């Protein structure tokens, strides 16, 4: 599985990203507010047509799986950049939201709470 | 000679050729694909489910148990050395044959087993990929797992690709 973040999905510019409220073994000392990142992406028409014909036979649509994987990494990257700009060193309680703007294009949104931990 | 071909023919000819190809693809390609779907899609789904069971067994042997849980992890907050996000997703769709069967089932009502099987396979696939991703990243356990489902095609657009996206994420922890 390849993503923009490489194989180690959690290592993003030295910021710890978790979807739990606390980080085990660390103490939250400062709350820096909600941070988020989003992206809208689409595959080109050729891939869409390919996916449509693949869809007739059913099963996984790899082109779309990849599309969402890439977009999600990008959304996380933007969220992390937002947190870094606020001087945070961790993001806790991360959530994801997806919406289909139009067929084949997807909006991915990642958000969480930027905190300082010790 | 290329220069002797009138401009009108080039302007009109290329789109017309593309249109012709498109129509040909639809009238010849679609029925063939559909027949292929009728013949193979159910077997393909069975095969994937069987493969999934095997992959799950491999993962569970590696971790010693199922590494995924929806617990928040307060019960072992000491001893955790490292934690971080882990996520995986899959876009999975029923074949047009399955959709036809489902439509038929819709008329009668009750349980639509075929679509249930497709969605269940997609969910199991997403969870299994999360296990494999956790293994690749070197986590010992994945806490607070959430499983989201999103439609690839909005309900306002009845045509196009019919698929759901299943996305699973959680917090990987590593014991010291």
pLDDT single digits (tens) A48-71: 777 888 888 888 988 888 888 888
Q: Note the pLDDT of residue B60.
A: 92
Question: Which residue intervals of chain A are DSSP H helices?
Answer: 45-57, 62-85
> Does the structure show a pLDDT above 90 at B127?
yes
pLDDT mean across residues, chain B: 85
Distance CA B92, CA B94 (A): 7
Q: Is A28 exposed, middle or buried (0-12, 13-18, 19+ CB in 10 A)?
A: middle
Whether complex ipTM tops 0.90: no
Q: Note the pLDDT of residue B170.
A: 93
Q: Note the pLDDT of residue A6.
A: 47
> Does the structure show a pLDDT above 60 at B62?
yes
CB contact under 8 Å between A100 and B44, yes or no, is: no
Q: Which CATH number fits the domain that encloses residue B66? A: 3.30.110.70
CB contact under 8 Å between A9 and B36, yes or no, is: no
In this complex, which of A8, A22, A51 lies closest to B137 when CB atoms are compared? A8
Distance CA B175, CA B83 (A): 9
CA A16 to chain CA centroid, Å, is 14
Q: Is B28 exposed, middle or buried (0-12, 13-18, 19+ CB in 10 A)?
A: exposed
Q: Domain of B123?
A: 2-175
In this complex, which of B96, B137, B170 lies closest to A56 when CB atoms are compared? B96
Work out the percent of chain A whose per-residue pLDDT is above 90. 31
Q: Tell me if chain A has a CB within 8 Å of the CB of B88.
A: yes
The domain total for chain B is 1
B159: Cβ contacts below 8 Å, ≥ 6 apart: none
Q: Tell me if chain A has a CB within 8 Å of the CB of B91.
A: yes
Q: Note the pLDDT of residue A7.
A: 47
> Does the structure show a pLDDT above 50 at B46?
yes
Q: Note the pLDDT of residue B26.
A: 80
**Four-way CATH pick for A16-117: 3.40.50.2300, 2.30.29.30, 3.40.190.10, 3.30.110.70:** 3.30.110.70
The per-residue pLDDT for range A2-27, each reduced to its tens digit, is 344 444 565 556 788 999 888 888 88
Mutate to test the interface with A, among B84, B97, B126, B169 (most CBs of A within 10 A): B84
CB contact under 8 Å between A57 and B167, yes or no, is: no
Distance from CA of B96 to the nearest CA of A (A): 5
> Does the structure show a pLDDT above 50 at B154?
yes
Q: Tell me if chain A has a CB within 8 Å of the CB of B73.
A: yes
Q: Note the pLDDT of residue A2.
A: 39
């Amino acid at each position: 599985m390849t993503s923009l973040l490489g194989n180690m999905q959690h290592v993003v510019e030295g910021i710890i990203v978790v979807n739990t409220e606390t980080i085990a073994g660390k103490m939250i000392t400062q709350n820096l507010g909600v941070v988020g990142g989003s992206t809208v992406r689409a595959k080109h028409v050729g891939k869409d047509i390919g996916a449509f014909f693949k869809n007739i036979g059913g099963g996984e649509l790899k082109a779309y799986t990849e599309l969402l994987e890439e977009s999600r990494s990008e959304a996380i990257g933007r969220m992390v950049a937002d947190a870094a700009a606020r001087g945070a060193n961790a993001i806790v309680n991360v959530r994801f939201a997806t919406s289909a703007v139009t067929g084949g294009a997807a909006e991915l949104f990642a958000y969480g709470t930027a905190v300082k931990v010790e | 000679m290329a220069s002797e071909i009138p401009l009108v023919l080039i302007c009109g000819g290329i789109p017309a050729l593309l249109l012709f190809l498109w129509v040909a693809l639809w009238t010849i390609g679609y029925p063939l694909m559909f027949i292929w779907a009728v013949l193979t899609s159910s077997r393909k789904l069975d095969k994937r489910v069987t493969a999934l069971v095997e992959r799950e067994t491999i993962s569970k042997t590696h971790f010693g148990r199922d590494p995924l849980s929806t617990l928040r992890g307060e019960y072992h907050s000491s001893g955790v050395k490292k934690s971080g996000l882990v996520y995986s997703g899959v876009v999975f769709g029923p074949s047009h044959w399955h959709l036809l069967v489902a439509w038929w089932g819709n008329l009668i009502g009750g349980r639509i087993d075929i679509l249930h099987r497709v969605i269940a396979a997609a969910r199991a696939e997403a969870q299994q990929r999360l296990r494999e991703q956790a293994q690749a990243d070197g986590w010992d356990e994945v806490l607070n797992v959430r499983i989201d489902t999103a439609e690839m095609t909005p309900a306002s657009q009845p045509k196009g690709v019919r698929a759901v996206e299943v996305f699973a994420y959680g917090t990987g922890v590593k014991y010291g």
